[in-house]
Amino acid sequence: MCIGKRDNAYILVSESCALDTLGAEFVRDVRPGEVVTITKEGISSDTSLCPTDKSKEARCIFEYIYFARPDSVFDGVSVYHSRMCAGRALAMDSPVEADLVVGVPESGNAAALGYSLQSGIPYGTAFVKNSYVGRTFIKPKQSNRESSVRIKLNVLKEAVMGKRVIMIDDSIVRGTTSALIVNMLRESGAKEVHVRISSPPFLHPCYFGTDIPNEDQLMAHNRTIEEIRDLLGADSLSYLKIERLNEMAEGLPICTACFSGDYPIEPPKEDIRGEYME
């Protein structure tokens, strides 16, 4: 959360880009554990609950990877720059010969541009996005997710026909939508489809925001990279190395639990979300 100001009004928003929309001035980020009070007298802050040990802080790395808009800045780190950094790292760590680099909109686009700039392979647009469809991986049923992807994305056939395509996506969670997108590229005439993911394999449930009920629903759980590649129908598959996440956050303390299983606090002993679903 960050604080903005316009004229005599203070504004609290979860992403800094909202301040730009309102024509407001960015003041500062709210510190972890800070209590901010705004009255007609002005703004005051209680930092008595803020951690004194910076290593105890744990920003959600998935904000930089997927959730946030690219024009947002979290704690001085540009989301756009983070995704470009991930794309460049993928090009250095997982090179492949191809004719075109494309991103899966929207969060894959900046990473694809970074891959293109680092590799020298041309960057292009392969997907036309329907802006009126929401996030697909959080749809409750698999049939809903698959139909939403078809409605959400359409492939520009003339852009990919006969070409070796590197497809950059931000993550693979359940994986079925990724497989559908790979198939859509092949149906449109792509000669090869090489998948590069700008995050490490998603292996563990998140208890702090991302609604992943259990590990069994995660494609990377108990599967090798080659097995995942086969399920996706891709010619090759590579993920971002987990060590690269610190570079994305420019050294800020981050939570990587969904990739590493290293939770910043003790996770629940039992998962009761399924009971609510029932």
pLDDT along the chain (278 residues), means of 10: 93 96 95 92 92 86 93 95 98 98 94 98 93 56 58 92 98 89 96 98 87 81 96 97 96 94 86 57
H helix intervals, the chain: 17-22, 61-62, 79-93, 109-119, 142-152, 157-160, 176-187, 225-232, 245-248, 257-260, 273-277
Which of 176, 196, 197, 185 has its CA nearest to residue 126?
Answer: 185
- What's the pLDDT score for residue 146? 55
- What's the pLDDT score for residue 272? 65
CATH class held by domain 60-260: alpha beta
- What's the pLDDT score for residue 151? 79
Contacts of 83 (CB under 8 A, 6+ apart): 64, 65, 70, 107, 109, 110, 111, 114, 170, 198, 248
User: Residue ranges of the domains in the chain?
Assistant: 2-50, 60-260
Q: Phi and psi (nearest 5°) for 203? A: -115, -20
Which one-letter DSSP state was computed for residue 160? H
